[in-house]
Structure 1
Amino acid sequence: MFRWFESLIDAFKEPVDGMPPQQVWRFYAFYLRQVWPVFAAAIVVGFCVAVVEVSLFGFIGRIVDMAKGVPAADFFHLHGRELLGMALVALVARPVFNSLHDLLVNQAIVPSLTNRIRWQNHRYVIRQSLGFFQNDYAGRIANRIMQTGGSLRESAVQIVDAIWYVVIYTGSAIALFAHADVWLAVPLFVWVFAYIGLLWIFIPRIKQRSWKASEARSKLMGRIVDGYSNVLTLKLFAHTRREEAYVAEAMAEQTDKLRRMTRLTTAMDASITTLNGFLIAGTTALALWLWKEGHVTVGAIALSTGLVIRINNMSGWIMWVVNGIFENVGTVQDGITTIAQPRAVQDREGAMPLEVTNGSVHFRDIHFHYGKKGGVIAGLDLAVRAGEKIGVVGPSGAGKSTLVNVLLRLYDLEGGRITIDGQDIAQVTQESLRSQIGVVTQDTSLLHRSIRDNILYGRPDAGEAHIQEAVRKARADEFIPTLVDGEGRVGYEALVGERGVKLSGGQRQRIAIARVLLKDAPILVLDEATSALDSEAEAAIQESLDILMQGKTVIAIAHRLSTIARMDRLVVLDKGRVVETGTHAELVARDGLYARLWKRQTGGFVAVEDVPA
């Protein structure tokens, strides 16, 4: 039975890939519409639960009236069937409807809808551009995705429950009171309007302050996670107290905004409690006076007093439910600011997979500025022949890494085109483009998973023989068997730590090379691949890079000119343009920018005289 209810909502159903709505009510509708049959069932069952609960209070007054003036010996004989009906409602209908409600909410809606929202939000956000993630805390993004799913589901369920309790309890109470005597319903009428007025005053303010508190909470989470992610930097610079103060500032802001919200909830609680006191006292006094005047029965006194006390308790519950609803709505609003953002880089409609036959790359009059004034790349033209290995050099800020970023389409060009084998990369799918390009970067980032998982990231379906071959070619087979993590896993099963911190720079780079070897893409980009290593480690890894480059079109970027001097051709960039091109010997002889850069650099493990003319 549990499994059947749990199967009603598929947590991993994928919607049409598009940006979620930015308006709050449309955002709710976007996700609730996907599970409307389950929510419709929950609404119907919630109605039945509320009707049963109210009927039990109606029984109290009815039993008092039935017992009045009837001999005890004849009571069950005269009213047995009615009492049996009441018992069936209490013993059968109430447990059945309550259990069905719990099954729909706890088994179908709570786990599955919450995680469907998180899953779909994650699917959308993970496809955002690189700039999206560079402009925010990773911890804040993750926090908003986790919070939004739970808050949306919680507030939706609370709304369903609260609506029926308000409508059924209040409506039936007014009907029951009016049936006894129309004047008995007057205090309840007055209370309803005053109660709605108080909610109208307080709730929008609570919602706004809840949004601010949630925003501050996300900021706090972002700062905490940022510190944990960069704990080595924190310790190297001995800035523990500075980091504490940085987090404390965000925590103080979050505390202040939370207090501002709770002040309103306390004021609302006090106001409604006072109003409820007037309802209880007024209804009871009026019922006693009407009984004294002979207008109502003793049962009406029991019914009205019991029901207003129940309404008093219910109004307190509804107050906190409504408060919780708008707190959650505020959290959802905060999440929307991150989740419902347009993607800066998207596949064009009808984009086809990239097909690489040779591997030629052509940059045609490209322009890109990262949204800044002034040029990073301005009018660059560069053709790389299939199988050619070029080195890209130039001073800092010349546009070398930007060239790689736009080739991988991490950003869209502002002008010009980049083609691979004649195909415009803006017209093909991003996944197919990046699957055809292998990249080894300076800052090798490994996932906090096993060595095997990190290598398999290059080609998830690779067999053990291919893994071993890639590891051997990368010269990583020397150290992998010796690795042991904190939980005793060894070799390929050892976890590497966040961003690979448990490995040395050279070890991380060899794992990265093995990963790219396994990928075996026809185009290879080396972006400062050895600049973070010492000369000895660089010399050891250079052999692996030579193996990696065989048979591929290669674009290699390096500040250390000695590492790329043996390339087929060198391209010198300055201020986003190609200013020189040729072999190492030709450029040195030309005595231009490259020659000046070369003369500034000393050391290195490839001597000038070793470089063929």
Structure 2
Amino acid sequence: MSSPEPQASSTLAIYLRLLTYVRPYIGLFLLSIVGFLIFASTQPMLAYILKYFVDGLSNPEASLFPANDYLPDLPLLQAVPLLIVLIAVWQGVGSYLGNFFLARVSLGLVHDLRVVLFNKLLVLPNRYFDNHSSGHLISRITFNVTMVTGAATDAIKVVIREGMTVVFLFASLLWMNWKLTLVMVAILPLIGLMVSSASKKFRKQSKQIQVAMGDVTHVASETIQGYRVVRSFGGENYEQARFQSASQSNTDKQLRMVKTGAVYTPTLQLVTYSALALVMFLVLFLRGDSSAGDLVAYITMAGLLPKPIRQLSEVSSTIQKGVAGAESIFEQLDEPSEVDHGSVELERVSGRLEVRNLSFQYPDTEQPVLHDISFVAEPGQMVALVGRSGSGKSTLASLVPRFYHHEQGQILLDGVDVEEYSLRNLRRHIALVTQQVTLFNDTVANNIAYGDLAGAPLAEVQLASAAAYADEFIVKMPQAYQTLVGENGVLLSGGQRQRLAIARALLKNAPVLILDEATSALDTESEQHIQAALDKVMQGRTTLVIAHRLSTIEKADLILVMDQGRIVERGSHAELLAQNGYYSRLHSRQFADADEEVAVEINA
């Protein structure tokens, strides 16, 4: 999975946008900055103490404030140790304030980003999930946000603490001897050029690492979800090789970034220490009338500069990782949400469904999936869609609750275009049961009473379960309705999961019911039970049924036969058989296959 090359000029904009999430914590953030300022101010203080220490060695009788009418005459013998302790306490206060409160800010920031990123996932259109693997989406919430943590914590801490340390040290050096200090200032453009060059490399490599980490998550996620297929088809070696390749790619990219930093840091350190060496030469050569204490203090301050400068240069990689992570996060946050311009909200609809001249093609494709579809389903009627795979049945069913946005034709619910309903209100009127059942790692009761249904009385949950013939196996489970079903209902059979999904739809009690191969995972006996239950619950509800087994839709008020996105036949079961066309051939073929299966079972 490739990503477009980022524009270096956008780094500052992305970082500033990331920092806007600090606004709720601005008080704590400013407090942490004060702490780091306190910490940074102690660095030149400690270095300057050496001046008094050396002066005290040469003159034991010297005092801290000689010949002063306002301040006490404090001998250096007492003053130097006392000042060192006071400075250490002051530095400790600054360190605590900076580290603790910045940590609170950063953890809050990461939490907020994760929440807003996850909430955005809930409103993105279906096509976004069609085009992005779940592994890469999960990687953004976990790995990418973790990289942002570095930019929001370690980077800010280093930039403020070490940056102010450099400022304070330079200010002290300028005050002590501005001519010598200008020699060190001369190397700053060279350092800036090196940092800029390395930052571009770090940014590019961070993007590659993100993608590679997404590939690792993707492969692992697919293998875990499809472990039954992997084992039954002997795919262990293939998946091992696939995961090893993804992990090795990630490792290689990580090493490449480490190599960049390993070359960059000592190079920068060489430049910095070269400047320091020149300054020391000039100090020894042009010592003038400066005291030994002054010279020692100056050299010590100059010697303290390389470390914070090196740390500032190394923070570039952390910032670029965070910016790269933030960029991918903001890409997702900037994705347009589901189109929801509708304002109509009805408490209850009768369920009259009309489709007029509907045509549809998926975004970024050229081949239309539906061509000029028109039909009417009156309240309480059952309309069945049949046809071979790829004929457009499921696509048509997906357009009713607006999982995809159509531009040609109309879908009317109670005479109102579905585009005019608010999304939440529209979907409240529709219950959907698909072939791919989704269950959550929760109790049976919570899986049936899910979402808007949460909090429904247990008695109502039991009634829906009984109508879906799910109650008979639920009561036999260890904790009945409080039994955990495992991830995606892994502890249940396919038929049991399907019946729970049907019970969920029945509990919703929506005027429109869409059954997309809803009985496909059921055995014959369960299907008969479900069919009897559906016959009962479909009374008074408009039902759109997509069925592979024609025996389940013989009682449909209207059967639409689809082929290549068009309705090729329509009518009741008896009318379509009488036409002796597509439906009749499909019916004959299916029942011939059923007779063969029965004969095989009898002979066996």
Normalising by the residue count of structure 2, what TM-score does the alignment of the two structures yield? 0.88
Equivalent residue for 2:352, pick from 352, 360, 366: 360
The CA deviation at 1:89 is: 4.6
3-state DSSP of counterpart to 1:602? helix
The CA deviation at 1:26 is: 5.8
Distance 1:55 1:192 in 2: 24
Structure-to-structure mapping, 1:37-76, within 5 angstroms: 37-65=27-55, 68-71=58-61
The answer on whether the counterparts of 2:357 and 2:374 sit within 8 Å (CA) in structure 1 is yes
3-state DSSP of counterpart to 2:374? strand
Structure-to-structure mapping, 1:145-544, within 5 angstroms: 145-291=141-287, 294-343=288-337, 345-348=338-341, 351-371=343-363, 372-457=365-450, 459-484=453-478, 490-544=479-533
Distance 2:271 2:58 in 1: 33
The CA deviation at 1:266 is: 1.0
The answer on whether the counterparts of 1:287 and 1:296 sit within 8 Å (CA) in structure 2 is no
Letter in 1 for 2:359: H
The answer on whether the counterparts of 2:351 and 2:511 sit within 8 Å (CA) in structure 1 is yes
The answer on whether the counterparts of 2:440 and 2:447 sit within 8 Å (CA) in structure 1 is yes
2:579 is matched with 590
3-state DSSP of counterpart to 1:543? helix
Normalising by the residue count of structure 1, what TM-score does the alignment of the two structures yield? 0.87
Alpha-carbon RMSD across the aligned residues, in angstroms, is 2.8
Distance 1:351 1:22 in 2: 39
Distance 2:377 2:13 in 1: 47
Structure-to-structure mapping, 1:104-183, within 5 angstroms: 104-106=101-103, 108-183=104-179
The CA deviation at 1:401 is: 0.6
The CA deviation at 1:232 is: 1.2
Distance 1:530 1:310 in 2: 75
Equivalent residue for 2:94, pick from 80, 94, 97: 97
The answer on whether the counterparts of 2:155 and 2:319 sit within 8 Å (CA) in structure 1 is yes
Q: Residue by residue, what CA displacement relative to the aligned partner does 1:440-472 show, whole Å, maximum 9, x if unpaired?
A: 111212112221221111611201211222222
Structure-to-structure mapping, 1:553-568, within 5 angstroms: 553-568=542-557
Distance 1:352 1:308 in 2: 71
Q: Residue by residue, what CA displacement relative to the aligned partner does 1:144-170 show, whole Å, maximum 9, x if unpaired?
A: 122343333431334433333454333
Q: 1:196 to 1:382 in 2, by over 3 A?
A: same
What runs of 5+ residues in structure 1 fail to find an aligned partner?
Answer: 1-20, 485-489, 607-613
The answer on whether the counterparts of 2:444 and 2:481 sit within 8 Å (CA) in structure 1 is yes
2:598 is matched with none
Distance 1:558 1:524 in 2: 14
The CA deviation at 1:520 is: 1.1
Q: 1:534 to 1:288 in 2, by over 3 A?
A: same
Letter in 2 for 1:593: Y
Distance 1:135 1:200 in 2: 35
Distance 2:82 2:415 in 1: 81
Q: 1:73 to 1:356 in 2, by over 3 A?
A: closer
The answer on whether the counterparts of 1:141 and 1:338 sit within 8 Å (CA) in structure 2 is no
Distance 2:276 2:533 in 1: 84
The answer on whether the counterparts of 2:465 and 2:500 sit within 8 Å (CA) in structure 1 is yes
The CA deviation at 1:83 is: 5.8
The CA deviation at 1:72 is: 7.2
Question: Size of the alignment, in residue pairs?
Answer: 576
Please, which moves more after superposition, 310-319 or 223-232?
Answer: 310-319
Q: Residue by residue, what CA displacement relative to the aligned partner does 1:368-427 show, whole Å, maximum 9, x if unpaired?
A: 111332331111111111111121212322211111110011100021111111222112
Distance 1:186 1:62 in 2: 25
3-state DSSP of counterpart to 2:197? helix
3-state DSSP of counterpart to 1:116? helix
Distance 1:394 1:313 in 2: 73
Letter in 1 for 2:306: N
1:9 is matched with none
Distance 1:175 1:74 in 2: 22
The CA deviation at 1:134 is: 2.2
Please, which moves more after superposition, 151-160 or 237-246?
Answer: 151-160
3-state DSSP of counterpart to 1:179? helix
